[in-house]
Amino acid sequence: MTSLGEEIYLLRKKDVDQVEVYDVISCRLLRCLSVPNARSFTDMTSCKHLLCLYIADLGVECVHRLDLQGNSTQWPVNDEPHGLSVNADHNIIVTCRSVRKIKEFSSRGDLLRDVTLAAEVNNPWHVIQLTNGQFIVCHGDHDDPMNRVCKVSEDGGHIIKSHGGPIGSNIGQYSVPCHLAVDDNEFVFVVDINNGRVTLLSPTLDYECQVVSHDQLKWRPLRLCLDVQRRRLYVAESEFKDGVLTAGRVVVFTV
């Protein structure tokens, strides 16, 4: 899920018309876009400068680039891509969870650099690069010793500050923090899957509040999108029964 101009783009798990485009004001469905040769999506982001979408495909280890007319290209990542974001240089930051790597690509798919994260950053889900070159990383799975949000040095090897620790449900703890958004003042929004909430952290990764609580959601939150201009937070949540995805929706909050 991502926003671009006056539209919201929602990625669905289906064979065709995978990207649904909605009006940002009325939430009316405007059109659908298809992603050729797609197999298994994990994330989507947009570039406001180049007016295009980027979609991570775990099944074929690639990133799809889709323009607003539906024209598409793709390039290999050569590792399993999970999270996507766009940095200040309009390059693509790809989080490769299983190998603890950040890969930076140009908008045309040229690999610019390959960053290995510190050894204690297990299972990174999503990475956003700040304007000073440092990274915000959320990491940790069910059986990992740490579930945290970290600020990491530009070379990836040094944790500058972290929030979280052992898995848990108390304030200051996470249970699989899987997706991030950062506003213009570098406040950080964190999706916490198993605790069913969205946490707000300060630019120094100090706890601010729960901007979305468990009581405000029906299912498990998996992705979010922040519309900074309108101060809207879009949270995608999904229902799972016996490990199978059965339903989903987007909930909109004012922040």
Digits of tens for pLDDT over the chain (255 positions)? 999 999 999 998 888 889 999 999 999 999 999 999 888 999 999 999 999 999 999 999 999 999 999 999 999 999 999 999 999 999 999 999 999 999 999 999 999 999 999 999 999 999 999 999 999 999 999 999 999 999 999 999 999 999 999 999 999 999 999 999 999 999 999 999 999 999 999 999 999 999 999 999 999 999 999 999 999 999 999 998 887 777 889 999 999
Q: What is the pLDDT of residue 81?
A: 97
Domain locations in the chain as residue ranges? 47-254
201 three-class SS: strand
* Closest to 150 measured CA to CA, from 160, 166, 97: 160
Of the candidates 100, 55, 99, the one whose C-alpha atom is nearest the C-alpha of residue 75 is 55
DSSP calls for 120-132: T--SEEEEEE-TT
How far is the CA of 193 from the CAs of 21, 115, 150, 219, in angstroms?
A: 25, 26, 17, 9
Q: Is the CATH number of domain 47-254 2.120.10.30?
A: yes
